[in-house]
Amino acid sequence: MTLSSTARSACLAAALGAVSTLGLAAAALPGFAQSAPAAGAVSIDNFTFTPQTLTVRAGTTVTWTNKDDIPHGIAATGNGFTRSKALDTDDSYSFTFTTPGTYKYFCYIHPHMVGTIVVEAATGSNATP
Amino acid sequence: MSESDRDDGVSRRRVLECMTWAGTGVLWTISGGVPHALGIMGEAQAQQAAQQTKSLTFLQLSDSHVGFDKPANPNALGTLEEAVAKVNALPQKPAFAIHTGDISHLSLESQFDDADRVISQTRLDVHYVPGEHDFLDPDQKFYRERYGRGSKGAGWYSFDANGVHFVGLVNVVDLKAGGLGNLGNDQLEWLQDDVKHLSASTPIVLFAHIPLWTVYPDWGWGTQDGAQALSYLKRFGSVTVLNGHIHQVMQKVEGNVTFHTARSTAFPQPAPDTAPSPGPMKVPDDQLRTMLGITDVTFKQNEQRLAIIDSPLKT
């Protein structure tokens, strides 16, 4: 009983995994099929967001990592996404973008630092890397 | 404010070369209206200046960044303690102090506690304005709870001492994408009202964290609506603007206004355009204390000059 229950759980997990993998594959253009679950990275170095503009597909989790010796903070221009807490050296902040659009943001501690996240429809024909 | 400031790069650079790497404290002497920097002085000169003035001397501390522990200075609390020791050794005890912000590095309660514990050893009444590092707690309340009593808005206020009108401004909240420091309309209106009843001969000292003049916009070193604030002060014979934020001494005189930035007690930052970014500057250990310091300012009645002495922790 116990065994079979465990086995069922394992099957279920595998099935779920398969479904979500399929979902991803279906959503992605062929070129994206090999890439990891949607993730994007922005590095903060020398008071600069790199890349300055990051283009991702809807559903992508973007992670900012502060590599400076001074804290930075991420805030959308307007209310496009949730503001981060202050990120000390090596701290990260992640946000999952589900809605296509252009999200401009800046460092709320050093507002001359600006960047853009472009979120494209997950199944759109205009999705480009 | 912007173009003329930006075009005088040569003189500004020369000022930087002359002043930035030299001293540690700024002695401000207010005499009559036009603040004047006596320049970097040794302690003997400072003593002499203090004796000559016999009037209001006050101290400026800035950018303590308590909690900072990166390579540029692994012990910012330690250098703040050294700065306080330097204050306590001044030949003339200042009447009070101003702190031009970035008391803490990350707005943690423990960092404010440590800063308060050390700065209180000066036994001076300290008038604070916040830096952007003092508003990093999620509710942005620690600064206001500790230092904002009796202030307006995000923490602005004014007071009078020895006939000098002091105004503490806040230019580190509600910052806009791509922009510089920001005072905002509420504060500007308050400032206009605050000074309108004063006689034109009243010496004015404005202090705020980010420079009110445009030092270097590429690094955000300036205040978007700083020129608007200064426009309310045109009729005054003596206006002195004291700032921090850029962790180096810089001075400019423009008409009736003297602008001055103080050193940090925590870590130096590079001169404009001399590094890829304004981040903390790592210097050889034996040079660090020559680039940190305190400032004192003396106001002398019936004279037009403020004497400013920047004193490094170590010469």
- Among B79, B148, B154, B74, smallest CA distance to B119 is for B79
Contact at 8 Å (CB) between B82 and B293? no
A116 shares its domain with A87: yes
Residues A31 and A84 placed together within one structural domain of the fold: no
Q: Best residue in B69, B132, B214, B215 to probe A by mutation, most A CBs within 10 Å?
A: B132
Residue numbers in B near A77 (CB within 8 A): 177
Distances (CA, A) of B124 to A53, B87, B156, B244: 49, 10, 20, 19
Specify which residues B205 forms β-bridges with.
B166, B240
At the topology level of CATH, where does B2-302 sit?
Purple Acid Phosphatase; chain A, domain 2 (3.60.21)
Percent of chain B with pLDDT over 70: 81
Residue range A42-70, pLDDT digits in tens: 999 999 999 999 999 999 999 999 999 99
Residues A3 and A45 in one domain: no
Cβ pair B219:A112 closer than 8 A: yes
Which one of A68, A69, A77 has the shortest CB-CB distance to B177?
A77
CB atoms inside a 10 Å sphere around CB B109: 12
pLDDT at B198 over 60: yes
- Looking at the fold, whether A3 and A43 belong to one and the same domain comes out as no
| ipTM of the prediction | 0.81
What's the CATH number where A49 sits? Answer: 2.60.40.420
Looking at residue A37, its pLDDT comes to 64
Q: Are residues A75 and A42 in the same domain?
A: yes
Specify the pLDDT at position B195: 98
Claim to verify: residue A42 and residue A90 sit in the same structural domain: yes
pLDDT at B18: 29
How confident is the model at residue B218, as a pLDDT? 95
Count up the domains in chain A and report the number. Answer: 2
DSSP string, B90-146: -SS--SEEEE-S--BSS--HHHHHHHHHHHGGG---EEE---GGGS-STTS-HHHHH
pLDDT computed for residue B302 by the predictor:
64
Domain shared by A26 and A69, yes or no: no
* DSSP state at residue B156: B
pLDDT in tens, B89-117: 998 899 999 999 999 999 999 999 999 99
A23 shares its domain with A58: no
**A55 and A15 share one domain:** no
Pair A5, A24 in one domain: yes
What would the two tokens of residue B6 be? 């930006």
Domain that includes residue A102, residue range: 36-129
Amino acid at A53: T
| Same domain? A45 vs A7 | no
pLDDT at B46: 54
pLDDT at residue number A117 = 97
pLDDT at A29 over 50: no
Distances (CA, A) of B258 to B28, B146, B289: 11, 30, 26
Query: A90 CB contacts (<8 Å, ≥6 apart)?
Result: A65, A66, A67
**C-beta atoms of A71 and B106 within 8 A:** yes
Rounded-to-integer distance, Cα B154 and Cα B281, Å: 30
Instruction: Pick the more confident residue, B37 or A98.
Output: A98
Cβ-based contacts of A86 with chain B (< 8 Å): 106-107, 136
A-chain residues near B277 (CB < 8 A): 46-48, 68
From A109, which residue of chain B is nearest by alpha-carbon distance?
A: B132
Q: Are A49 and A92 found together in one domain?
A: yes
pLDDT of B226 over the 90 cut = yes
**Each residue of A68-124: pLDDT tens digit?**
999 999 999 988 999 999 999 999 999 999 999 999 999 999 999 999 999 999 875
The contacts of residue B84 (CB under 8 Å, 6+ apart) are B118, B119, B121, B122
- Average pLDDT, rounded, for chain B: 86
Report the pLDDT value the prediction gives residue A78, as an integer from 0 to 100: 86
Is the pLDDT at A39 greater than 50? The verdict is yes
Each residue's pLDDT tens digit, B250-289? 999 998 899 999 999 999 999 999 999 999 999 999 999 9
Query: CB neighbours (10 Å) of residue B52?
Result: 13
Domain ranges of chain B: 2-302
What is the number of residues in chain A? 129
Q: Which of B25-29, B73-77, B153-157, B232-236 has the lowest mean pLDDT?
A: B25-29
